[in-house]
Structure 1
Amino acid sequence: MPQEAPSAAQVRTALDELLGWPGISRSPQLSELLRYVVDKTLAGDEASIKAYSIAVDVFGRPHDFDPQADPIVRVQARRLRTLLEQFYDSGKSASEVQIRLPLGRYVPDFARVDPTQRPQAGTTAPPVDVAAVPQWPAWTQPLRSRLALTALLAFCFMVIGVALVVFLLRWAFPPATPPAAGIPDFPSVTIGTFDNLTGQPAFDDDIAGIAQQVSGALGKFELLRVVPQGGRFTVRASVQQSAEQFSLKALISEHGSDGIVWSSTITTPTNGGPASQVLGDMAAALAAQLGAASGPLYTADRAWFGRQATLPSPPPSYVCALAYMAWRDVRKADAATTALDCLNQVLAAAPDNAVALAEHAGLSAWWRSYDAPASADPVPLLAAEATEAGRAVSLMPDSSFAYQQQGLVLARQGLVDAALGALRKSISLNPASMDALATYGVLEWLNGNFERGSAAGERAIAAVPSPPPFYYMTRAFEALRQRRFYDAIDAAQALAAGDEELGLAIAVAAAPVIGRNDLIDRYRPMILSNPRFEAAGIMARFQRLYRVPALLDRIREGLILAGIPPAALDGPFNADGTLRQ
């Protein structure tokens, strides 16, 4: 009696099982190819499953695709066929149906599985027939006894020797204490294969070189650990080409979890340039996404940090780095206090921890400037932080982050040229650090180089999928300077998520001209009730940090139009806006 054909539901269960297997799920092209041929077959459209339709529908080839000139479909089908065989031969399948791709065809077969014939993972070998083993002659018994005794003594001496060596090594080099269970450690990442799906073997070396470039670029981020294999995260990618652009599809899988935890597509036009340059630009763009503090390699750890009511004691250095990241996004006093307390504990135990020193210097400079009276001289005020940042650079002279934090401290001291020099050094050491580029853009803009500063800020925003609020500072400044009030409000509201003083002030200053009374009504009470504005005056507080007359004039004009009392601009005032006596 012929076997009944599998139902569509059974086939889809088998498909879901395959798509969840890392061997296939790590490759979006193979996953899409498998899904495509199964869906077409279940729909009764087997006749349309041809090399041409697969190339166009699955691999994005143009409509003039020539299967004879471009072997992409044959290559990928062969890879998929091999992986299907590996999966089912491993005994990992629990499905009633197997999906196979016969040789020479792209239409899959769906076959029921006989449970008695299913391969079992971890099957043990059959027992040995002792009677069939050849026996030694009796006359060899004394010789074999002496040989056995000699071998036993040699084995005992070897074990004693190995144990002694292990003891001495452990005594001389005690193992480092690992993080406590549940506390995240510095992310480790392995760069996997980068597949050439362009159909042009001439690009093999260039695309393989992307993996090396990404690995080298990520190694310049102080908190990441790039390892050749066995990393917590594995990055894989594939590159396709159309008539006028390259597309890179990157995937991240995490050790111990099935499937893909992150994916991104980077598309770059060729513009007639050499392929090696275009692919190099794509490698830099991918490194910028992966290395960003808001990027996928930190997402789970930052979520863990956000769930903690208290920090572990003593805190590991990486936990303090997570605290620093949390402050970096919101720039609030409570987040600063948490991060500074954490870093103080780390530095008390390890005074030469250069990353912690740099974090502490930059954060402490912000905190002291934030909390200081408007009349304070910033150079002596931040002398300790400047020394601390300089020490971090001395300890870690190849660190982009150390120079970036030194630049921040120098900028808050008003030493603009020195700060720009430090930031340029930071960018040269790690061109993929968008934090350094965004900071450089702000400082260039404040130094009067509006076009250069705006270009740096816009590049940083475009490079990172979820830019932190301070990236929008240059955009808000430039839009307000040019009286592009709608753009200024959009940027200022993004900025306000991490700067509740400057962001709100720019939004309110831009609102009157375009009739955004709703924003004025929402933000004006918040500005007038800000205790630091009340203590110094709104413009007096801004003038210490933002010495650009065109910017300050726009803010002043807009605040007055929005109904901020003039008495609140230049000196201490009461909550109702009247001059404080």
Structure 2
Amino acid sequence: MKRQATSSCVSDAAASQPVSGPCEADIRAQLHRILESCDFKAPDRVRRFLSYVVEQTLAGRADRIKAYSVAVEVFGRDTSIDVLNDPVVRIEAGRLRRALELYYFLEGKTDPVLIEIPKGSYVPSFSWRLDDQTLAQPLSAPTPQPRAQTRASFFDWLRRPWLVGSATALVFGTLLAFIGMIDQSRPAASSTSPLGPSLLVKAFTNLSPTAEAGAFATGLSEEVLSQLATFRELTVVRSEASNALASRRSVARRHFDARHILEGMIRAGEGKLRITSRLVDRDTSAIIWSAIYEADLRSGNLIDLESGVAQKIAVAVAQAIRAPSRPVSNAR
């Protein structure tokens, strides 16, 4: 049985006119569904970000959703913030987009309402999922006259055996040609491997008891994912998503059966951080690449440190995967 639309805004009027976009009640219900889902992998500040932009848009204040207002009202930045030099909103927007993509790939794959944050803007868009919208839209009623003519023409056609024979031959010929095309393309169609090299990114492990080091480990893990996602030739998945997919259908598991694994550790002491990262071949356990980076916690903004180290790691990992025969490095 096909899934019926669950929108609270679809009324009897839908039988006579096309369905418009989701209404306020539908959007808020979908927002609640996302925030309560275990598959929406996002920290509290990203959840606040999503709630803020949705509520501002529903209140008719979408024009106020700018990097400055988000930084001040959501992330608690000082009103003197320079958004051009503080990338916090851009970074968190990237994390929010990825969290929404993962949610709609997993638990939300059948949700009727889509909430998306288009790139280049922080204003969310709301739309019906295509299948649900198609089911909800009314079908035009056929007029009686064409229908009667079609029935009469069909029976007249059946009275001509030579036409039936020709049509049958044409159908069988087309069917055989189609089967031949399927056989020729079967190897490509049955392939479930990703388009490019696959990479599983594990969360960086914090080996220090300080909360500051823990926050840096979490932020660095997210930033590394963000930087790696810019390399379109790589298929990148985080470890949490991989674990969630372990209980899903086999096709999804094979698609994310990563050949390479990126892992790392963080240690803190006397105001300094030591970040160790390595790229491992899953099949052979060989270390393809490794590096050690050091950062001074007192030298500047933690987000800047995260972004700088993550960029170095992402570039080095992408190069190592492209050329796996290169020797292991220990850059600082």
Q: What TM bracket, shorter-length normalisation?
A: 0.3 to 0.5
Report which of the two structures shows the higher radius of gyration computed on alpha carbons: 1
| TM norm structure 1 | 0.21
TM-score, normalised relative to structure 2: 0.35
